[in-house]
Amino acid sequence: DAKTTQPPSMDCAEGRAANLPCNHSTISGNEYVYWYRQIHSQGPQYIIHGLKNNETNEMASLIITEDRKSSTLILPHATLRDTAVYYCIVPIPAMNYGGSQGNLIFGKGTKLSVKP
Rank residues 72 and 101 by Cβ distance to another protein and give the closer one: 101
Minimum distance from residue 14 beta carbon to another protein (Å): 25
Q: How far apart are CA 85 and CA 59, in angstroms?
A: 15
Instruction: State the Cα–Cα distance between residues 29 and 43, nearest whole angstrom.
Output: 29
Q: Which is nearer to another protein, 16 or 46 (CB)?
A: 46
Q: Does 53 bind another protein (CB under 8 A)?
A: no
Chain-centre distance for alpha carbon 11: 16
* 45 touches another protein (CB under 8 A): yes
Among 11, 46, 76, 80, the residue binding another protein under the rule CB under 8 A is: 46
CB of 103 to another protein, least distance (A): 4
Stretch of 14-22, 32-40, 58-66, 70-78 contacting another protein, by CB under 8 A: 32-40
